[in-house]
Amino acid sequence: MTDFTMEKGADGAAIITWDVPNKSMNVLSLDGAAELNRLIDEALADEAVKGIVITSGKKDFAGGMDLNVIAGMKNNGGAQGVFDGVMTLHHLLRKIERAGMDPKTLKGGKPIAAALPGTALGIGLELPLSTHRIFAADNLKAKIGLPEIMVGIFPGAGGTTRLTRKLGAMMAAPFLLEGKLSDPKKAKAAGIIDEVAEDPVAAARDWVLNAKEADLVKPWDQKGYKMPGGEPFHPAGFMTFVGASAMVHGKTMGVYPAAKALLSAVYEGAMVPFDQALKIEARWFTNVLMNPSSGAMIRSLFINKEALEKGANRPDAPDQTVKKVGVLGAGMMGAGIAYVSAMAGIEVVLIDAKQEAADKGKSYSTALLDKAISRKKSTEEKKAEVLGLITATTDYAALSGCDLIVEAVFEDTGVKAEVTKKAEAVIPADAIFATNTSTLPISELAKASARPEQFIGIHFFSPVDKMLLVEIIKGAKTGPVAVAKALDFVRQIRKTPIVVNDARFFYANRCIIPYINEGVRMVAEGVNPVLIENAAKLMGMPLGPLQLVDETSIDLGVKIAKATRAAMGDAYPDSAVDEVLFWLADEGRLGRKSNSGFYAYDDAGKRLGLWEGLEAKYPIADEQPDLTEVQHRLMFAQTLEAVRALEEGVLEDIREGDVGAILGWGFAPWSGGPFSWLDMLGAGRAAEISDGLTERHGARFETPKLLREMAQKGESFYGRFGQQKQAA
Ligand code: NAD
C-alpha cells in the first residue's frame, strides 16, 4: 500500500502526493507517516532536488489522523505506546521544519511548502504548519482547522505548539479550544495559512524554487523570538492566560480533560524552547488519551457514530434511496422535515388540511434559506433549487409516486389513522409509511395501515434542521425493507440514526423525562433550584433539568404527564412532579415560549435567573443535600432508564444507546454516553449507588437485574455487549 508518492521534476522540484488508496479522504496512519518520512529523507539527500511540495491527489488535502490508529496505540502500548507514537510524528514534522539546515547556522535547508487543494483538518493542517509556506486553493468548500477538541482530544502533532507560536495564545484560542474551522481566505486572514492561490501546486513549486535561506527559518527558531501577545509572565500574556483559564472552566465546567490539558500544554510550552514544548505537548496529549473520557468520546462521537451512519444496523435489503417523499402535516415538525429533505435533493410533497397551512410550512424553508444567504452560507440559486423541490398542497393525489411518507400531523390516533388511509390509497404498493409520533405506540398506529410491515416510526427531534439524531422505531410487524428505507433516508439527509423497538417514549424521551422529573421533584422537596441546575451542569449536562423543561415547554410536560397517568393508572409514580408543573401551567408560566417558567425572562426573551415566585411556593429547605447526591439522582434517573431499555430489548445495541443519548438530549458528552459512563464507574459501584438511592428515594432507582448481574460477574457494558456487536 502506498499513501505517498514522489515525482521529481527536471526543474529541481520534488512533488510528494498524498493519496490514500480506496479512501475518499486522506487520513494519516503510522505506516503512512513512515512512508512520508522515507520520501522526505530521500528528497533531502538528493542533490538534484532543490525544493519540495507536499500536496494531495484528492480534492481535499486530508481529514486528519486515523482515530482508529490513535485508539490502537493506546490499546497496544498504553501510555508509553502513545507517547512514542506521538514523538515519532514530532520527529518527522520537525525534520520537515528544519529541512536539513544546520541547527546552529540555520543554513543549508531545502524549502518545503504545502499545497492544499481543499479541506485540511487535524494532522492535515499540522503537517502543513510544519512546512515553510502553506498555499491553499481558493475553494469556498474547503475547511481548514484543528477540530480535535470536538472528540475529546487536542492537536497533538505539534499543532498546539506551532499555532500558539505563530498566532499567539489569544489569537490561537478559538482554533484550538473551540475547534473553529475557516475557509482558505479566512484562514489566511487569521494567519493560519500563508497564501490563497488559483493553482496552489504551481504557486508552491514556484515558491520552493525561489525561496531564500532566511524564508525557511521559523520565527521560533530565530534568536530573540517573542511569542505574539506575550508569554505567560509578560503582563499582557498573563492576562490572556488568566482569562483563558476562567473561560475554559466556565464553558467546560471542568469535565472535559482535553481543554484543561490543552491549556496546560500551551502555558507550560510557552515558557521553554520549542523542542521542549513539543515534548510537553506530547506528554499532555498522552495524559488526555489515557483518560477514559477521551477514549469514550472517540468511540461514541467518532467511531460508532460513523459506523451507525454507514448502516451498521441496516438489514440486508437492496438500496432504498428516497426519490420523492410525502410529508403529511406542515406544522413545526413537517416544515422542518420538508426542509431537510429538499436540502438533500429529494422531491417533497408537503400536505396540510388547509392550503395556507401548507404554504406556511413551505415558507419555513424560505426563511431558513434567506437567513443562510444573509450569512453567505447559501445562494439565490440554491434557494430556488431547494424551494423548487417542495410542492405545498392539500391534494393527496399529489402523493402518487412517493416512495416514502413521513406523517407529522396532530398527536391524535384518529387523525393519524385517517391520513394513513388517505395516503395509502394513492401511494405505490411498495412505498414505506413512517410516522413521526413522539408518544403513540407504532404498533397501534400501524393498525390503520393495510401494510403494517411497511409501517415504521421515524422520530425527529426539534428543531429538525439542527438536531442530529433520528430515532427509527420498529413496530411489531415492521419488516426489514422499511428499516432499510428509513436508514437510507436518514443517510441522505445526513443525520445519525438509531434503530429501536416499540415501547413507551421509545429511547431518548424515555430517558430524558425521568431526568426532568427528578429535577422538578427536588424543587417540590425544597432542594435549592440553583443547586439542582448547577449539579447537572457540573456533570456536563448542557442544560439543567429546569431550564430544559422551560425550553421544551411546560404545557408539553403537562400533556405528557396527563397521557402517561391515563395509560398507567395507579402505577403512575410522578404525582409530586405534576404538582409543580400543573401549578406553573395554571399560572400561565409555560416556559421560554411565554417568556416565563422556572426562570424569569426579559421582554426580548433573555433568561434572567430562576423565578423568585418559585421559592415563595416551594421554600428552600434548611438542610440541603450534598452536591454528589443531587448529581447521582439526576444522572441515575437517565442511565438506569437506558439500562432498562437495553434489558427490555428496546435498545438492541449499546453503541446506539450512547450515541443517541449524546446527540438526542446532550447526555454529558465527555462521558461517551450512559453506558460508557456506567463502565467508568464500574457495574459494582453503579449498583451500590442505585441501591443507596432506592433506599433514600424510592423504587424508581431500583437496580435493574442486568446491572446487578453484571456487578456480580464484574462485567462492563462494552465488554459484554460491545464486542459481540462489532463482530456481527
Ligand atoms: P403542529 O401542531 O405544529 O403541526 C401539525 C400539523 O398537522 C398542523 O399544521 C395541522 O394543520 C396539520 N394537520 C392536522 N390534521 C391534518 C390532516 N388531517 N391532514 C393534513 N394535515 C393535518 O405539531 P408538530 O409539533 O409539528 O408535531 C407533529 C407530530 O410530530 C406529532 O405527532 C408530534 O408528536 C410529533 N413530534 C413533535 C415534536 C416536537 O417537538 N414538537 C418532536 C418529535 C415529534
pLDDT in tens, 371-418: 999 998 899 999 999 999 999 999 999 999 999 999 999 999 999 999
Q: Where in the chain do CATH 1.10.1040.50 domains reside?
A: 509-727
Distances 422 to 413, 454, 520 between C-alpha atoms, Å: 14, 16, 42
Q: Whose CA is nearest to atom 42 of ligand 1?
A: 461
- What average pLDDT does the structure give for the chain? 95
pLDDT band per the 50, 70, 90 thresholds, residue 240: confident
| CA of 332 relative to ligand 1 center, distance in Å | 7
Please report which helix (H) or strand (E) contains residue 65, including its range: strand 64-65
- pLDDT tens sequence across 290-305: 999 988 998 999 899 9
Q: Is the pLDDT of residue 472 over 80?
A: yes
Lowest mean pLDDT among 26-30, 492-496, 563-567: 563-567
Instruction: Locate the ligand 1 atom nearest the alpha carbon of residue 435 and give its number.
Output: 32
In tens, the pLDDT along 114-164 reads 999 999 999 999 999 999 999 999 998 999 999 999 888 999 999 999 999
**Per-residue confidence at 581, pLDDT binned at 50, 70, 90?**
very high
The residues of the chain that CATH labels 3.90.226.10 are 4-290
Q: Which of 337, 410, 466, 509 to mutate to test ligand 1, by most ligand atoms within 8 A of the CB atom?
A: 410
Looking at per-residue pLDDT, the higher value among 250 and 529 belongs to 529
> What is the whole-number distance in angstroms between the Cα of residue 489 and the centre of ligand 1?
20
438 is catalytic: yes
Please compute the mean of the pLDDT values over residues 658-671 and round it to a whole number. 96
CA distance 127 to 130: 5
CA of 69 to the centre of ligand 1 (A): 45
Looking at the predicted structure, is the pLDDT value of residue 197 above 50? yes
Quote the ligand 1 centre to 436 CA distance (angstroms).
Answer: 9
Sorting pLDDT into bands at 50, 70 and 90, what band is 238?
confident
Q: Report the residue among 327, 352, 406, 560 best suited for mutation to probe ligand 1: largest number of ligand atoms under 8 A from its CB.
A: 352
pLDDT for position 207: 98
Of all protein residues, the one whose alpha carbon is nearest to atom 29 of ligand 1 is 408
Q: Which CATH number fits domain 4-290: 3.40.50.720, 3.90.226.10, 3.80.10.10, 3.50.50.60?
A: 3.90.226.10
Long-range contacts of 281-285 (CB under 8 A, 24+ apart): 281/156, 281/158, 281/160, 281/161, 282/83, 282/86, 282/87, 282/90, 282/156, 283/83, 284/154, 284/156, 285/82, 285/86, 285/153, 285/154, 285/156, 285/261
- Among residues 139, 438, 528, 676, the one annotated as catalytic is 438
Q: Give the number of the atom of ligand 1 that is nearest the alpha carbon of residue 419.
A: 18
Q: How big is the CA angle at 607 (ends 628 and 635), to the nearest 5 degrees?
A: 25
Q: What is the pLDDT of residues 609-619, one digit of tens each?
A: 999 999 999 99
pLDDT in tens, 411-458: 999 999 999 999 999 999 999 999 999 999 999 999 999 999 999 999
SS3 per residue for 223-252: CCCCCCCCCCCCHHHHHHHHHHHHHHHHHH
**With 50 as the cut, is the pLDDT of residue 727 above it?**
no
Mutational pocket test of ligand 1: of 327, 328, 332, 407, the residue with most ligand atoms within 8 Å of the beta carbon: 332
Q: Which pLDDT score, from 0 to 100, does residue 419 have?
A: 98
Model pTM score: 0.90
CB distance 711 to 686 below 8 Å: yes
pLDDT at residue number 723: 64
pLDDT at 278: 98
CA angle 519, 524, 528 (to 5 degrees): 65
Q: Which atom of ligand 1 is nearest to the CA of 439?
A: 34
CA of 439 to the centre of ligand 1 (A): 12
Q: What is the pLDDT of residue 728?
A: 40
Place 569 in a pLDDT band, splitting at 50, 70 and 90.
Answer: confident
Q: Is 697 a catalytic residue?
A: no
Instruction: Please tell me the predicted confidence (pLDDT) of residue 490.
Output: 98
Q: Which pairing describes strands 64-65 and 120-121: parallel, antiparallel, or unpaired?
A: unpaired
Average pLDDT over residues 3-31: 96
Q: Looking at the predicted structure, is the pLDDT value of residue 201 above 90?
A: yes
Domain with CATH 3.40.50.720 in the chain: 324-502
Q: What is the mean pLDDT of residues 188-200?
A: 97
CATH C-level class of 324-502: alpha beta
- pLDDT the model gives residue 724: 53
Per-residue confidence (pLDDT) for residue 725, from 0 to 100:
52
Catalytic site residue 234? no
For position 76, what pLDDT does the model report? 79
CATH code for the structural domain at 509-727: 1.10.1040.50
CA of 469 to the centre of ligand 1 (A): 19
Residues with CB under 6 A from ligand 1: 328-334, 351-353, 357, 408-411, 415, 418-419, 436-438, 459-460, 462
Across 684-705, average pLDDT: 98
